[in-house]
Amino acid sequence: MARSMKRRHFLAAATAGLAAPAIGRAQGGLKSAKTSLRLVTLSHGLVQPWSLAFLPDGRMLITERPGRLRVFANGRLEPTPLAGVPRVAATSQGGLLDVCLHPAFAQNRVLYLSYSAEGAGGNATTVARAELGEGGLQGLTVIFEAVPRAPGGLHFGSRIAFDRAGLMYVSAGERYTKPRAQNLGDLGGKVARLKDDGSVPADNPFVGRTGARPEIFSYGHRNPQGLAMHPVTGRIWEVEHGPRGGDELNILKPGANYGWPLATHGIDYDGSIISPNKSLPGMEDPLRVWTPSISPCGLCFYTGDKFPAWKGSLFTGGLSAYALFRLELDGERVIGEERLIEGQLPYIRDVRQGPDGLLYLVTHSDDGGLFRLDPA
């Protein structure tokens, strides 16, 4: 069965049999090893939501994969999407994906969108910068494209995160073409590091190297769908999808090779061996590997006070595991893991900590929802 067919069957299975909770309903009695919690339904009616961001005025922005940027305000989903969103290639896994605010958004109103865009030769992971005005986006400018373009709609990656220096990291999948991840002249299968206007920092690891793209910060990635800055060390952490097995959690290092497809813990979808090597000299080993796959998506360090026992934990959505994963850390070591709200929601696509210290989730389905975790 083709990969796209597998995905369609998976999406159908993910939403079948999981009834959407009523808006405002708080489902209690949910347990964690360290606390009790409630799952609160905030909204339905989102079409394949992919990411969310919190505005300083209390509103939320939510991307929908078909190409809409929605606003959640005053306890409800605004009916009219924001204007000025770029045209996206909403095919298979592609479409409007991440949304990320500039670190100085309160002053400059600048935000970033990642999406798949069509052009000569096919589609590419793309990032645009714009200002949020009344009712929509203004001055939208494309600042990054993970070229070369390629046909098809798989493995766009497409998360955005900023570090303490105000530099921007963008993840791009290898577009389901394995060799791209190891090709330094290709931006597929890479994490790029950029200034906030899309230009290249002078200290990027491959600046000045013949045959290498200067935007590259790290390479050897398959389909990275989570980026987050560690609140203490300031380093960027990443999660990516393996094939059958071999999902990874990594800490990104400048110029480092994360192995795909030369080293992997996964096998191909038809059961064949991709590589006999799980580790190779000169390549970074994952901090955590999931086999079987959980399909990690979204990444969030918890720094709030509403769940004191979770402070310092790392959260990721498990798309195919129908669960939210909490990883307990000791510095840069994973020392524990638990599955939360397992079987309660289909296809958790993103997890973010809100300014109120609570956790917010979106679920990727045709009747997707916005949810919040509260202390019980």
Residues that are catalytic: 155
* Site of tokens 């209690």: 28
Residue 8: which residues within 8 A CB-CB, separation 6 or more? Answer: none
Q: How far apart are CA 99 and CA 206, in angstroms?
A: 27
Q: How far apart are CA 259 and CA 124, in angstroms?
A: 22
Are 349 and 332 spatial neighbours (Cβ–Cβ below 8 Å)?
Answer: no
Mark 93-111 as b/e (b = at least 16 C-beta within 10 Å): bbbbbbbbbbbebeeebbb
Residue 185's CB is within 10 A of a number of other CB atoms, namely 13
Report the side by side order of strands in the sheet with 110-119: 96-101, 110-119, 122-133, 136-145
Are 79 and 90 spatial neighbours (Cβ–Cβ below 8 Å)?
Answer: no
Residue 178: which residues within 8 A CB-CB, separation 6 or more? Answer: 260, 261, 274
Q: What distances in angstroms separate CA 13 from CA 9, 93, 94, 292, 318, one per listed residue? A: 6, 17, 20, 18, 15
Q: How far apart are CA 101 and CA 48, in angstroms?
A: 21
